[in-house]
Chain A
Amino acid sequence: TTRTPEFLGLGQTTETMPQSDSAGDVIIGVLDTGVWPESKSFDDTGFGPVPSSWNGTCESGTNFNSSNCNRKLIGARYFAKGYEATLGPIEESKESKSPRDDDGHGTHTATTAAGSFVPGASLLGYAPGTARGMAPRARIAAYKVCWVGGCFSSDILAAMDKAIDDNVNVLSMSLGGGNSDYFRDSVAMGAFSAMEKGILISCSAGNAGPSAYSLSNSAPWITTVGAGTLDRDFPAFVSLGNGKNFSGVSLYRDNSNSMPSALTPFIYAGNASNATSGNLCMMGTLSPQQVKGKIVMCDRGVNARVQKGAVVKAAGGLGMVLANTAANGEELVADAHLLPATSVGQRNSDVIKSYLFSDPNPTATILFEGTKVGVQPSPVVAAFSSRGPNSITADILKPDIVAPGVNILAGWSGAVGPTGLAIDARRVAFNIISGTSMSCPHVSGLAALLKGAHPEWSPAAIRSALMTTAYTAYKNGQKLQDVATGKPSTPFDHGAGHVDPISALNPGLVYDLTVDDYLNFLCALNYSASEISTLAKRSYTCDEKKRYSVRDLNYPSFAVNFEGRTTSTNVAKYTRTVTNVGPAGTYKATVTSDNPSVKITVEPNTLSFGQVNEKKAYTVTFSASGSAPVNANSFGRLEWSDGKHVVGSPIAMSWN
């Protein structure tokens, strides 16, 4: 990626980061659409031998053989038996029955996590710079599980099975499949086994935001990653015939000067179609007679944004203005459209529409401004980023963290153009796309960096370091914003906050977790012996005499659920144990809350550590007096600090 290293404080080069010899021994397994091995991001110059721990291989298949792997891309496998069993044999003329990535998504996520340095990267001149992954010294193993027709759980499980055997250290999974109990969810089950082997599993939270309860991958042994913006934008203005200008974004590159600089006739798609959903610019719905030679305004939704542009182009349109609706609000996602086009937010689109509907001869033009950096405020939580509360286990706060996931430049497949459309004949080495798919590998790579710096840390300790050092306010002290509302975001939107890798390298204290802790958590969920056995691959008997509580899981965040319809005082107690991973010191607790009717006490509120790996426990008690409206939420934060380190935990309180 370009820009995100600087945005995250990693700098242009690795010199700003400690690079121990073990950094090159960290292996990131990426379950996705495969890999385009010719990408310069997989250059292995300067890499030592493949780590001796590596058990994987480079499988051959369509347009792919073992020589496609090297000391950077050390493994590549594909899994299609489940896919073929359901949908029939793979059409090898359309997609490679091999690890080769014909889609681009897998190459994008893999290079985001751990791509090598590539100077002079850009997409059609946009987002220029030196591209690199978050852990440029780490090795990559690609596991292709997603095909044209989707990603099937039998294939995903097979890939996780192999990745565990292959000895990856981090698993990056930018995919999801709804919301079901952990013992029915293949990703959760495979992730449990991976966690047991010391593998950190980073998954995307999903793109179903800003609706509440829209998360996927919410098991506590998974690191669940939401998405935020960068301080980078790609402005492209709409200039109307009435002299007014409206800001938008675009990645269109006008090589042929097809966009006239003069004002051009402008029409609303809904008025250029006989179809009921003509406003959406679906295939075959626009009237060429009405569209030809004009700029067309299309509403966002249903079909792909870039396909709307292709539909306008096919109908003879000269350009497109893509209008956000209430579902997207002011969130602008830039696309490499096939014709001059820009995306505008809902407020601007409403004003533009009123001009279109009131002016007898509306005209417009689009002005492309290229790449702009330093945009503030940033980051803001992306509207599409899935949100809590956690619908499977309300007492575990999810997502865990947010990372860059909007307009991310990273490596791309040579088999497909930047829009992914079949008619897009352009080929690019890098593409700019958005999603929690993009934020997930940022965290995967950062986790690999931490693993390289602290090989002895468990997956839970690495996640804890990333979470407790995440930030929730801008440098000016204002709280992180949510683009969906324009207001401060909450822990249900950003989890612990935005990742800050430099601070995560030296977190001071961590909340560690063992396999037994997770087994006790399953007991607290009242899982049956059979359900635990399905999930954990072992017979584990919950002690009937023991009182298990989800609140006792040593998680670095707090999701407190109160009974809403009661006049008595609600009391919730949480126990936590912190492990010192820094120098000796004394930490003091500070609690902030936006709800004064909830009394929050920490006991003890001072913890002294004399040596590394020393553990200390504390209890947090939340006392809510009186009733509160059902579905009300309040938020707060607990911080432990020794004056040098700040170990922060988000608090979400809900009345159900």
Chain B
Amino acid sequence: NTDVSHPKTTPSTYIVHMAKSQMPASFEHHTHWYDSSLKSVSDSAEMLYTYTSAIHGFSTRLTPEQAASLSSQPGVLSVLPELKYELH
């Protein structure tokens, strides 16, 4: 299927929650660990934001397949799709 809009191949934004306490000692900084986790499922994906105070984790663009794969990585607590909020 070459349809580029096929949902399985279309990237969307996810918020990845990480268990910072589970960071392997081999990483000096949590952002390196986040990046390594991300690169394990996608060579090209980049972090939009890294979060340190509101949550532990980052946001990035992934395909649903990549998101599912990332959610099974060690230290990954959840991979949640971006939601749109509205003004009240």
By the criterion CB–CB under 8 Å, are A193 and B87 in contact? no
- A33 interface hit (Cβ, 8 Å): yes
By the criterion CB–CB under 8 Å, are A160 and B78 in contact? no
**Cα A151 to Cα B12 with chains together (Å):** 15
By the criterion CB–CB under 8 Å, are A154 and B56 in contact? no
By the criterion CB–CB under 8 Å, are A174 and B59 in contact? no
- B54 interface hit (Cβ, 8 Å): yes
User: Would you give the 0/1 interface string for A162-176, flagging 1 where the beta carbon is closer than 8 Å to chain B?
Assistant: 101100000000111
Q: Which chain A residues in 537-583 approach chain B with CB under 8 Å?
A: 537-539
> Who on chain B is nearest to A183 by CB?
B78
By the criterion CB–CB under 8 Å, are A175 and B85 in contact? yes
**Cα A146 to Cα B85 with chains together (Å):** 9
By the criterion CB–CB under 8 Å, are A157 and B55 in contact? yes
By the criterion CB–CB under 8 Å, are A82 and B86 in contact? no
Q: Which residues of A contact B51 (CB under 8 A)?
A: 157-158, 161
> Which one, B20, B61, B85, contacts A156 given CB within 8 A?
B85
User: Would you give the 0/1 interface string for A305-323, flagging 1 where the beta carbon is closer than 8 Å to chain B?
Assistant: 0000000000000000000
**Cα A33 to Cα B77 with chains together (Å):** 31
By the criterion CB–CB under 8 Å, are A161 and B52 in contact? yes
Whether A538 contacts B49 in the complex (CB less than 8 A), given A153-B84, A157-B59, comes out as: no
> Who on chain A is nearest to B14 by CB?
A154
Q: Which residues of B contact A86 (CB under 8 A)?
A: 12-13, 82
Q: Which residues of B contact A194 (CB under 8 A)?
A: 54
Q: Which chain A residues in 171-201 approach chain B with CB under 8 Å?
A: 174-178, 180, 183-184, 186-187, 189-190, 193-194, 197
Q: Which chain B residues in 50-88 approach chain A with CB under 8 Å?
A: 51-56, 59, 61, 77-78, 80, 82-88
- A328 interface hit (Cβ, 8 Å): no
Whether A164 contacts B53 in the complex (CB less than 8 A), given A86-B13, A539-B19, comes out as: yes
- A436 interface hit (Cβ, 8 Å): yes
**Cα A189 to Cα B21 with chains together (Å):** 18
- A335 interface hit (Cβ, 8 Å): no
Q: Which residues of A contact B82 (CB under 8 A)?
A: 82, 86, 152-154
- A204 interface hit (Cβ, 8 Å): yes
Q: Which chain A residues in 51-110 approach chain B with CB under 8 Å?
A: 79, 81-82, 85-86, 105
- The tally of CB-CB contacts under 8 A between chains A and B is 127
- A440 interface hit (Cβ, 8 Å): yes
- A435 interface hit (Cβ, 8 Å): yes
Whether A437 contacts B87 in the complex (CB less than 8 A), given A86-B82, A154-B82, A157-B15, comes out as: yes
By the criterion CB–CB under 8 Å, are B49 and A154 in contact? yes
Q: Which residues of A contact B84 (CB under 8 A)?
A: 150-153, 177
> Which one, B20, B61, B85, contacts A187 given CB within 8 A?
B85
> Which one, A33, A534, A538, A539, contacts B78 given CB within 8 A?
A534
Q: Which residues of A contact B61 (CB under 8 A)?
A: 85
Whether A533 contacts B77 in the complex (CB less than 8 A), given A154-B49, A206-B88, comes out as: yes
Q: Which residues of A contact B80 (CB under 8 A)?
A: 184, 186
User: From residue B59, how far is it (CB to closest CB) to chain A in Å?
Assistant: 4
- A331 interface hit (Cβ, 8 Å): no
Q: Which residues of B contact A175 (CB under 8 A)?
A: 85-88
User: From residue B37, how far is it (CB to closest CB) to chain A in Å?
Assistant: 15
Q: Which residues of A contact B49 (CB under 8 A)?
A: 79, 81-82, 154, 157-158, 161
**Cα A205 to Cα B88 with chains together (Å):** 8
Q: Which residues of B contact A538 (CB under 8 A)?
A: 21
**Cα A178 to Cα B81 with chains together (Å):** 14
By the criterion CB–CB under 8 Å, are B12 and A176 in contact? no
By the criterion CB–CB under 8 Å, are A150 and B54 in contact? no
By the criterion CB–CB under 8 Å, are A154 and B13 in contact? yes
- A32 interface hit (Cβ, 8 Å): yes
Q: Which residues of B contact A82 (CB under 8 A)?
A: 13, 48-49, 59, 82
> Who on chain A is nearest to B17 by CB?
A534
- A207 interface hit (Cβ, 8 Å): yes
By the criterion CB–CB under 8 Å, are A177 and B53 in contact? no
**Cα A538 to Cα B20 with chains together (Å):** 8
Q: Which residues of B contact A189 (CB under 8 A)?
A: 54-55
By the criterion CB–CB under 8 Å, are B54 and A152 in contact? no
**Cα A156 to Cα B55 with chains together (Å):** 12
Q: Which residues of A contact B59 (CB under 8 A)?
A: 81-82, 154, 157-158
- A530 interface hit (Cβ, 8 Å): yes
Q: Which residues of B contact A79 (CB under 8 A)?
A: 49
Whether A435 contacts B88 in the complex (CB less than 8 A), given A154-B13, A530-B78, A539-B19, comes out as: yes
By the criterion CB–CB under 8 Å, are B20 and A85 in contact? no
By the criterion CB–CB under 8 Å, are B53 and A193 in contact? yes
> Who on chain A is nearest to B12 by CB?
A86
By the criterion CB–CB under 8 Å, are B55 and A151 in contact? no
- With A33-B87, A81-B48, A175-B87 given, name 20 new contacts (CB 8 A): A82-B59, A85-B61, A86-B13, A151-B84, A151-B86, A152-B82, A152-B83, A153-B85, A158-B51, A158-B59, A162-B53, A164-B54, A165-B53, A174-B87, A175-B88, A176-B88, A177-B86, A193-B53, A530-B78, A533-B17
22 chain-A/chain-B pairs, Cβ below 8 angstroms: A32-B87, A81-B49, A85-B48, A85-B61, A146-B87, A152-B84, A157-B49, A161-B53, A162-B53, A175-B85, A176-B85, A183-B78, A184-B80, A187-B85, A193-B54, A194-B54, A197-B53, A204-B88, A533-B17, A533-B19, A534-B17, A539-B19
